[in-house]
Amino acid sequence: MIPFDVLATYFIACVVLAVAPGPDNIFVLTQSALRGRKAGILIVLGLCTGLLVHTTGVSLGVAVIFQTSELAFTLLKLAGAAYLIYLAWGAFRAGATEIAGEKSALSEAQLFRRGIIMNVTNPKVTIFFLAFLPQFANPARGSLSLQMMILGAVFIVSAILVFGAIALMAGTLGEWLKRSERAQKIMNRIAGVIFLGLAARLLLAER
């Protein structure tokens, strides 16, 4: 199977990639700051569940569809952008006592689902996995599908560690926000701008 030194190098690369600013960790940062540490961790778990979908897709060859089909790529990209715009709309409408336009707290299942949707509707993640994971796989070591699953699992572990740390740190900021109505309003507006920026980035993404 995959040698330890290869896995170690791969894990370091995964951590570096997870730390680099991107849609997922920015999403974790803003949501944790607005909703608190527990909500942030639930969203992280949702995002990483989405990574399971991408890993499975790459392992089964489904990712090739998004790489070769302009229509499939565009439809998923539009769905993801629409979801981000919806979140932005809610954030801009939110008042001091509301978070992202919701008067009541989201349930744990809703927070978890939000993370899954955010990740799964980004076709760039699948394309990235298709380009990144095979670099550390070798047909001589056995089943490529199994190797892809292992590499995907390692990537998910690194994402949980990095995103989890971001959620915990941002959640501390969230505790302070709860004591300041003005800060809540400002943070909601900032979150709205970030969501719109992520939506624009996704719409402009190319295969």
Q: Between 182 and 45, whose confidence is greater?
A: 45
pLDDT at 130: 76
Strand partners, 99: 102
- What count of other Cβ atoms lies within 10 Å of the Cβ of residue 135? 10
- Does the pLDDT of residue 192 top 60, yes or no? yes
- Does the pLDDT of residue 26 top 80, yes or no? yes
Q: Which of 54-63, 137-146, 156-165, 175-184 has the lowest mean pLDDT?
A: 175-184
pLDDT at 62: 62
Residues 133-170 pLDDT 10s: 878 888 888 888 888 899 999 999 999 999 999 999 88
Highest mean pLDDT among 49-58, 121-130, 187-196: 49-58
Long-range contacts formed by 201-204: CB under 8 A, 24+ apart: 201/23, 202/23, 202/77, 202/80, 202/81, 202/84, 202/122, 202/124, 203/77, 203/78, 203/81
Strand partners, 102: 99
- What is the value of pTM for the model shown? 0.75
